[in-house]
Amino acid sequence: MAREDAGPDDRNAFTRFFDRVDRTLSPAFASPEMAPEDPDDRSQLGEKPCPVCGHPMFEHRVDESTSNVLLECPTDERLPERAATGPLNEFGMPAGEKRLEKIRRHEERYGG
């Protein structure tokens, strides 16, 4: 029996199946009503202080000429780095909550 002889019903079942899949999925793919972009978003971002120098972000120059986008601060001044007072993790960074918990447990067990 040739494949074409399978009858039109086969094809219709197939088509119906995909019609149903289509109907089921289309709400997911249909672009939902996009929330209107908050026009203030950009300006608020621009007024946020830079974490490096403390100047507003809009004063910065963004160098996108390379694949590494560079942010140029308008000043050479740098905010002082927050001194780490607590224990450090394996990377020399301030230890996270998990690590602190581990240290606490270790100290309880072995007496600091």
Site residues (vs Zn ion, CB under 5 A): 50, 52-53, 73
At 14, the amino acid letter reads F
Contacts of 58 (CB under 8 A, 6+ apart): 46, 47
The tally of CA atoms less than 13 A away on the side-chain side of residue 89 is 11
We find the least distance from the C-beta atom of residue 87 to Zn ion, in angstroms, to be 30
The nearer residue to Zn ion, 10 or 47, going by C-beta atoms, is 47
Minimal distance in Å, beta carbon 42 to Zn ion?
17
Nearer to Zn ion, 25 or 62 (CB): 62
CA 20 from chain centre, in angstroms, equals: 34
Q: How far is the CB of 73 from Zn ion (least distance, A)?
A: 3
DSSP-derived 3-state class of residue 98? helix
| Residue number, 73 or 100, with CB nearest to Zn ion | 73
For Zn ion, the nearest residue by Cβ is: 50
